[in-house]
Structure 1
């Protein structure tokens, strides 16, 4: 497993985070005040599914078996604006985690997988900041 430069536990953590984000964005899409914001969040939802599948594929390449991940809790979002604020923080946390794995790795497949994920997470945070600012100033 050294060849991959990442542990199965790190991948489980990444997959769990992606599943939580999928659930979270599914809820935020329903709370969005307009189609534009719902579509932006829906794109994040699709990215998170892609990341989950990429991490799952990598896990199976490493271990030869599918991952065992406990079901994630349903998100509790008090308000749309609070949900957007929390999503920004979660995206930045994921960005740092994925970036650190990318920077500490020499395996090209792992690096490409995590590069795509951390750049997407950073983009999500930027768009969420736009949504937050737009709604906060109303």
Structure 2
């Protein structure tokens, strides 16, 4: 079903870079609205991972094309969630959605070194979803 395909993976990498940027901005909002230091620390660590992931995807794109990836400055519009809990819920499903995209990237990107990078990102996203589940349960 999946096979390495450079032309197919390039737009997926672009989506990943933009998605990581949107997540970073959204998590900044959650950090500002977190009710405790523990929540802020957890979300900050996730946000910092998202920044690192974005750089990793940018590196992969450049290594494969010799060109810098162009990022949209608009991205998806940011809608303030009605509550902190609603924001956590959105974050949980956002992380799980990213896993689906990154799984496609994993199967289509060439070269083991890039597959290893994507695997690291994938497992981070699963870890993030678990941390957001913890925060959701703790704050419910």
TM-score normalised per structure 2: 0.88
Greater relative CO, 1 or 2 (CA 8 Å, sep 6+): 2
- Greater mean deviation of Cα atoms: 48-57 or 106-115: 106-115
- C-alpha displacement at 1:7, in angstroms? 2.3
Conservation of the 8 A alpha-carbon contact between 1:29 and 1:38: yes
Structure 2 gaps of 5+ residues are: none
Conservation of the 8 A alpha-carbon contact between 1:26 and 1:45: yes
Q: What does 1:55-94 align with in structure 2 at a 5 Å threshold?
A: 55-71=57-73, 72=75, 73-94=77-98
- C-alpha displacement at 1:18, in angstroms? 0.3
RMSD, aligned CA: 1.8
Partner of 1:7: helix, strand, or coil?
helix
TM-score normalised per structure 1: 0.89
Partner of 1:21: helix, strand, or coil?
helix
Who is 1:27 aligned against?
A: 29
Distance between the aligned counterparts of 1:38 and 1:13, measured in 2?
A: 27
- C-alpha displacement at 1:75, in angstroms? 4.3
Q: What does 1:109-128 align with in structure 2 at a 5 Å threshold?
A: 109-128=113-132
Partner of 1:67: helix, strand, or coil?
coil
- Greater mean deviation of Cα atoms: 97-106 or 23-32: 97-106
> Any runs of at least 4 consecutive aligned residues in structure 1 with deviations exceeding 6 A, and if so which?
none
Distance between the aligned counterparts of 1:113 and 1:8, measured in 2?
A: 15
Aligned length: 135
